[in-house]
Amino acid sequence: MADLASLRASAFDSQPPDSTALRIHALGPSLRLVLRAKAPATVAAGAAFGPALPEQACRAAENGMRAALWLGPDEWLLIASESESPALPAALERALAGKPHALVDVSHRDAGLEIAGPMAATALNAGCPLDLDPEAFPPGACARTLFAKCEITLWRRDAARFHVLFARSFAAYMSDYLDEVRRELAAAPEAG
């Protein structure tokens, strides 16, 4: 019979084990804007923003600290350093003047986590149905999707580094769920 006593974990264990294979930390604040627009407004916005808005579905374009993430065929998430507010939104509004668009500052709506390490994709797949194989979701890919019951925006920065954005009211849910994933992976580290 299996030695269950040595495997037992209290339901109230609070600290999940630290692991170099899976490192999770909160992303600091940044300027985040959602742009809804079609050409020619998208071209003007790209010229003013730095990276042109990616046309390809589920791809991000970066230029220094600025990034434009494709969220839908007429929807982009623009990310920049917090210090660029309010100058950057104002510059975008000037570039978009007279062209139909919606530019909304959502900097304070979302919270973010960086999930990194060789087990990062495995940990994300504990709640996210996307195929995170590097062939299907390479570095630079991004998508709005689900992590368990939480809608997230997932952005793969490197092969083993992801950024996850979600409504800040889901922060406790996300960190509890990820703690559970960390315990699970610590108990069965070969699963990945």
Partner 1 sequence: MLLIDCPFCGAHAEIEFRYAGEADLARPSAAAGDGAWIEFLYFRRNPMGLHAERWRHTHGCGRFFNALRDTVSDRFVATYKPGEAPPAAAAAADHDR
Q: Cβ of residue 167: shortest distance to partner 1, in angstroms?
A: 12
Nearer to partner 1, 100 or 129 (CB): 129
User: Quick one: which of 28, 73, 98, 100 contacts partner 1 (CB under 8 A)?
Assistant: 73
What's the rounded Cα separation, in Å, for the pair 11 and 120?
24
Contact 107, 31 (CB under 8 A): yes
Is residue 72 close enough to count as binding partner 1 by CB under 8 A? yes
- CB-CB contact of 129 with 74 (8 Å): no
Angle between the N-to-C axes of helices 87-96 and 41-49, in degrees from 0 to 180, rounded to the nearest 10: 150
Distance between CA 88 and CA 80 in Å, rounded?
Answer: 9
Nearest distance, CB of residue 13 and partner 1, angstroms: 30
Shortest separation between residue 27's beta carbon and partner 1, angstroms: 21
Q: Which residues of 114-129 are buried (b: 16+ CB within 10 A; e: fewer)?
A: bbbbebbbbbbbbbbe
> To the nearest whole angstrom, how small is the minimum distance from the Cβ of residue 170 to partner 1?
13
DSSP state of 2: -
Please identify, using beta-carbon distances, which residue of 45 and 71 lies nearer to partner 1: 71
Q: Pick out residues in 128-147 that bind partner 1 (CB under 8 A).
A: 129-130, 143-146
When asked if residue 57 is in the footprint of partner 1 (CB under 8 A), the reply is yes
Residue from 44, 60, 68, 71 binding partner 1 (CB under 8 A)? 71
The answer to whether residue 58 forms part of the interface with partner 1 (CB under 8 A) is yes
Please, what is the minimum distance in Å from the beta carbon of residue 120 to partner 1? 19
How do the residues of the chain divide into helix, strand and coil, expressed in percent and rounded to 5? Answer: 30, 35, 40
Q: Which residues bind partner 1 (CB under 8 A)?
A: 57-58, 71-73, 75, 129-130, 143-146, 151
